[in-house]
Amino acid sequence: MTGATIARTAPGHQAAFRAATFADVLRSEWVKLRSVRSTFWALTTTVVLGIALGAVISAVTAHAYARFSAAAKLSWDPTGVSQAGVAIACMIAVLFVLPGIAQALPDSWRNPVTEFWPTQAGSQLTSVYHSAHTLQPWPGFGVMCLFVAIVYAIAWTLLDRRDA
């Protein structure tokens, strides 16, 4: 039988410890990006979707540019128009990718997050079977409507401040 021994250190001796640097954090994130395939595909899909939507929205707007009034032509912002695709891709990522990432959270965090996530809460209206840690149909629909109202309020505020 072998026994384990614990080596004692002198009172003045400290264990070798150094604080994590930015390079250490960057290295660990790079390892995660390379080792988890879904992260790469989720990021790639978001970037491609953002670029594609930006190109489509810009092409549609540029096609209609000839019919713009003089004031509209002067205030046209092609960069802002192309950023609309990126904004839509980010919104899609938030609505569809983050719930998948939330499944990796510990149960004590995951259940409250997924219970009130707008897509999960709203889908309870059409669900026949309601599992644990989900809202009932009408409260879930209310939560989804609340999230939509918040997004509309933010959009209205931004539209009022920037574009009108």
Is 140 part of a structural domain of the chain?
yes
Determine the pLDDT at residue 9.
59
Residue 95 one-letter amino acid: L
Asked if 124 and 134 count as a contact pair (C-beta separation under 8 A), the reply is yes
Is 85 part of a structural domain of the chain?
yes
Determine the pLDDT at residue 27.
87
pTM: 0.41
Determine the pLDDT at residue 93.
72
* Structural domain containing residue 115: 106-164
Determine the pLDDT at residue 106.
78
Determine the pLDDT at residue 29.
79
The reply to whether 91 and 120 lie within a common domain is no
The reply to whether 127 and 99 lie within a common domain is no
Determine the pLDDT at residue 14.
61
Residue 84 host element (H or E): helix 78-92
Residue 35 one-letter amino acid: S
109-141 residue pLDDT tens? 777 777 777 777 777 777 777 777 677 888 888
> Of 104, 120, 142, which residue constitutes the final position of a domain?
104
Output Rg (C-alpha) for the chain, integer angstroms.
25
- Number of separate domains in the chain: 2
Determine the pLDDT at residue 68.
83
Calculate ∠ Cα 37-39-40, nearest 5°: 70
Residue 86's nearest CA partner among 60, 52, 40, 114 is 52
> Of 75, 104, 133, which residue constitutes the final position of a domain?
104
The reply to whether 99 and 144 lie within a common domain is no
The reply to whether 78 and 136 lie within a common domain is no
Is 16 part of a structural domain of the chain?
no
Q: Which residues of the chain have pLDDT under 50?
A: none
Is 92 part of a structural domain of the chain?
yes
Is 18 part of a structural domain of the chain?
no
Determine the pLDDT at residue 34.
79
Is 135 part of a structural domain of the chain?
yes
